[in-house]
Amino acid sequence: MPGHAQNGNGDDDMAHNVKLEFKPYDKPAEGGDVVVFVGADRKSAPSAAGLLGAELDETIARAAELERFKGKAKSVLVLIAPGGLAADRLIVAGLGEGEERARLDWTALGGAVCARLSAGGHAHVLFEAPGEAASAENAADFALGVLLRSYRFDRYKTKKKDDDNGGAPARVTIHVSDPAAAKRAWKSRAAVADGVFLARDLVNEPPNVLYPAAFAERAAELSRLGVDVEILDEKALKKLGMRALLGVGQGSHNESRVVIMRWNGARDDVKPIAFVGKGVTFDTGGISIKPAQNMEDMKGDMAGAACVVGLMHALAARKAKVNAIGAIGLVENMPDGRAQRPGDIVTSMSGQTIEIVNTDAEGRLVLADVLWHVQDKYGPAFMVDLATLTGAILVALGTEHAGLFSNNDELAERIAAAGRATGEKVWRMPLAPEYDKLIDSKFADMKNTGGRNGGSITAAQFLQRFVNNTPWAHLDIAGTGMSSPSSDINQSWGSGWGVRLLDQLVKDHYES
């Protein structure tokens, strides 16, 4: 991958921005940053104190007093290293107390600490929580946060600041009591981090570079990990009858594609689970053209598809014991002499007819055919689709939660639980016949929008018309997949949202 060499084998010597390694406790080398953890009492762990000298806690206590540092979870205090310490800087990270401590998100902590490390430097993390044994899992989660935070997308900047490593540390050594256990725990996280980076890269790429066929080629690279990749071109899509999807792409000189990725990590007789992504590589709105302001953001209208590719990467790289299908619909929505018109009626692959009343409601047309195809051909145990589907979901939920719609309470609750575990949060929204009625059409079986009110819900109702009895969930990620606010673990415009969520869902419930 450009920008980030892929290394899904979980080697601790990864070719990322940051070189991460797990080592036993050791006297930190000369120079660099030393990181220690403290609770609300601002006392470091015994081995940190042992390694750094008895005055350490006194130094921390004095500095904390001056800086009003209370040891709250994820708060970070940066000091010039006191005399007697070989390091240049001492970094004190808070773990919090009580409830806060119990709920501590080690990944977010890793991100918060990474933000304060010396750019281009070498940091030594004394990974020990005072008063308890810090687990190998915690250390691996912390490392994941460091790595996710360090991501940069700078391949189009010709003047790189090569001295500062893009603001991230060059090397982070995490000192743990059991390095072998930490490395084992790290392996699967490294695979997930690579999947997130792949998704972010795809979302950040400009739309002249990442048009549908180019996107399909990127997805095809997953074959190196043992994923079976099939690319359907326009001829194949016509043959299948995907006229709803093809109608969206017909105004573009860039041909449409559908990509089917299959990872077979379980026995052949185990039903696959399926993930479907909206991949509009650029959404002008078509003839119902969007205003100029911020239209450039519509390069990110393929964040759903990017997540599906990133997830398939993660599952394959960590050799998940699951049969998973990833299917993405790739089109460019352009105005043109051949473009689809408002008023056109198209016949979808399902046979149902759709009156196009707004060419900017294109994502649902793409998903309609891909969902139908996946359900029909693969009979999956469930389907989850991800799409930057509606601006209305931003109005309803902002950028903190993705909208979750589902025909199945168990699946919905499992996704919500994975959201709580990973911090990629979802909020369930309603589906009901009263909403479904709003997309009935005078001229065809349905129309492609139900008006302004409840816009995210009528969009989901539209999708549901292409799902039979298969358990299904739809995630509207218009607010979370792109252009969302920076967080402890993400500073990138394209967030890679959903890769960690769905990897967790698979890990918790669907691996044999």
| Residue 360 contacts ligand BES per CB under 6 A | yes
| Cα–Cα distance measured from residue 89 to residue 50, given in angstroms and rounded to the nearest whole number | 18
Q: Using DSSP, state whether 168 is helix, strand or coil.
A: coil
Q: Please identify, using beta-carbon distances, which residue of 188 and 449 lies nearer to ligand BES.
A: 449
Nearest to 156 by CA among 5, 3, 301, 1: 3
| Cα–Cα distance measured from residue 78 to residue 117, given in angstroms and rounded to the nearest whole number | 9
Within positions 235 to 254, which residues make up the interface with ligand BES, using CB under 6 A? none
Please confirm, yes or no, whether 183 is among the known catalytic residues: no
| Cα–Cα distance measured from residue 345 to residue 354, given in angstroms and rounded to the nearest whole number | 5
Is 238 among the annotated ligand-binding positions?
Answer: no
Q: Please identify, using beta-carbon distances, which residue of 112 and 357 lies nearer to Zn ion.
A: 357
**Could you please report the per-residue DSSP string of 291-351?**
PSTTGGGGGGTTHHHHHHHHHHHHHHHTT-SSEEEEEEEEEEE---TTS--TT-EEE-TTS
Q: Count the alpha carbons within 13 Å of 298 in the hemisphere toward its beta carbon.
A: 23
Please confirm, yes or no, whether 290 is among the known catalytic residues: yes
Structure tokens at 69: 């540092």
Distance in Å, CB of 236 to ligand BES, minimum: 24
Are the C-beta atoms of 175 and 124 separated by less than 8 Å?
Answer: yes
Q: Please identify, using beta-carbon distances, which residue of 317 and 357 lies nearer to Mn ion.
A: 357
Residues pairing with 326 in the sheet: 261, 275
Residue nearest to Mn ion (CB): 360
For helices 179-204 and 499-509, give the axis angle rounded to 10 degrees: 130
Nearest to 422 by CA among 504, 307, 480: 504
Is 278 among the annotated ligand-binding positions?
Answer: yes
E strand map for 28-70: 33-38
Choose the stretch contacting Mn ion; rule: CB under 5 A; options: 147-155, 174-182, 352-360, 504-512: 352-360
Distance in Å, CB of 285 to ligand BES, minimum: 6
Helix ranges (DSSP H) in 73-166: 98-102, 106-114, 136-150
Is 283 among the annotated ligand-binding positions?
Answer: yes
Residues that bind Zn ion (CB under 5 A): 280, 283, 301, 363
Handedness of CA 184, 187, 190, 196 (dihedral sign): negative
Q: Centre a 10 Å sphere on the Cβ of residue 451 and count the other Cβ atoms it contains.
A: 12
Choose the stretch contacting ligand BES; rule: CB under 6 A; options: 168-176, 224-232, 388-396, 416-424: 388-396
Distance in Å, CB of 363 to ligand BES, minimum: 5
Contact residues for 387 (Cβ-Cβ < 8 A; gap 6+):
277, 278, 304, 363, 364, 367, 474, 475, 476, 477, 478
Contact residues for 381 (Cβ-Cβ < 8 A; gap 6+):
271, 272, 273, 471, 510
Is 271 among the annotated ligand-binding positions?
Answer: no
| Residue 455 contacts ligand BES per CB under 6 A | yes
> Among residues 57, 360, 385, 424, which is the contact residue for Mn ion, using CB under 5 A?
360
Q: Please identify, using beta-carbon distances, which residue of 128 and 360 lies nearer to ligand BES.
A: 360
In the sheet that holds 353-355, the strands lie side by side as: 345-347, 353-355, 446-447
Quick note: the x/- pattern for ligand BES over 464-493, rule CB under 6 A, is --------------x---------------
| Cα–Cα distance measured from residue 490 to residue 380, given in angstroms and rounded to the nearest whole number | 32
> Among residues 131, 206, 391, 430, which is the contact residue for ligand BES, using CB under 6 A?
391
| Residue 388 contacts ligand BES per CB under 6 A | yes
Query: Which of 364, 465, 500, 507 is labelled catalytic?
Result: 364
Is 65 among the annotated ligand-binding positions?
Answer: no
| Number of residues this chain uses to bind Mn ion (CB under 5 A) | 3
Query: Which of 43, 184, 290, 425 is labelled catalytic?
Result: 290
Q: Please identify, using beta-carbon distances, which residue of 67 and 296 lies nearer to ligand BES.
A: 296
Quick note: the x/- pattern for ligand BES over 305-344, rule CB under 6 A, is ----------------------------------------
| Residue 255 contacts Mn ion per CB under 5 A | no
Work out what residue 478 binds among ligand BES, Zn ion, Mn ion, none; the CB cut-off runs from 5 to 8 Å by kind: ligand BES
Within positions 64 to 93, which residues make up the interface with ligand BES, using CB under 6 A? none
**Could you please report the per-residue DSSP string of 209-257?**
TS-HHHHHHHHHGGGGGT-EEEEE-HHHHHHHT-HHHHHHHTT-SSPPE
Residues pairing with 427 in the sheet: 403
Choose the stretch contacting Mn ion; rule: CB under 5 A; options: 279-287, 303-311, 448-456, 503-511: 279-287
> Among residues 255, 283, 355, 488, which is the contact residue for Mn ion, using CB under 5 A?
283
Work out what residue 165 binds among Mn ion, Zn ion, ligand BES, none; the CB cut-off runs from 5 to 8 Å by kind: none
- List interacting residues with Mn ion (CB under 5 A): 283, 360, 362
Residues identified as active-site: 290, 364
For the annotated binding site, the residues are: 278, 283, 301, 360, 362
- List interacting residues with ligand BES (CB under 6 A): 283, 301, 358, 360-363, 388, 390-392, 449, 455, 478
For the annotated binding site for Mn(2+), the residues are: 278, 283, 301, 360, 362
